[in-house]
């Protein structure tokens, strides 16, 4: 498991971009942090030729946080909070649902576009 954590840390460090975390609660300040954005896509599943069917599974956009950075900055993501990117193509994303934890390095949320 330690190897997996090291790889996740390396991937996050290499691919994360700076963004602004903006809490829904008005009494909390915006925070700059590093996140990874996984854009939604569609994938085909099934066996169209062999069984005559296929289904399209639509993934949802996700934001991946560095768990240690969240702890250091004392940020606890909540539904409705926003992630604002400087890249206008990405723009602003709204946290919807936290996904189950699959390791100690990252925290993953499903998001929608604002």
Summarize pLDDT for 1-28 with one digit per residue, the tens. 587 888 888 888 888 999 999 999 988 9
First to last CA, the chain: 36
Question: What is the pTM assigned to this prediction?
Answer: 0.80
Burial of residue 53 (CB within 10 Å: 0-12, 13-18, 19+) is exposed
Q: What is the pLDDT of residues 67-107, one digit of tens each?
A: 999 999 999 999 999 999 988 888 999 999 999 987 788 99
Q: How many domains does the chain have?
A: 1
Residue numbers of the domain that contains 51: 2-113
Give the model confidence (pLDDT) of 14-64 as tens digits: 889 999 999 999 889 999 999 999 887 655 566 656 666 566 666 789 999
DSSP 13: H
């Amino acid at each position: 498991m330690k190897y997996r954590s090291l790889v996740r840390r390396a991937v996050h460090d290499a691919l994360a971009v700076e963004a602004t975390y903006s809490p829904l609660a008005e009494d909390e300040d915006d925070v700059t942090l590093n996140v990874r954005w996984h854009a939604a896509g569609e994938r085909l599943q099934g066996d169209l030729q062999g069984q005559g069917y296929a289904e399209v599974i639509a993934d949802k956009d996700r934001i991946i946080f560095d768990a240690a950075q969240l702890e250091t900055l004392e940020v606890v993501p909540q539904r409705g909070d926003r992630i604002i990117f400087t890249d206008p193509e990405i723009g602003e994303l709204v946290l919807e649902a936290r996904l189950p934890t699959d390791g100690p390095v990252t925290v993953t949320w499903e998001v929608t576009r604002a």
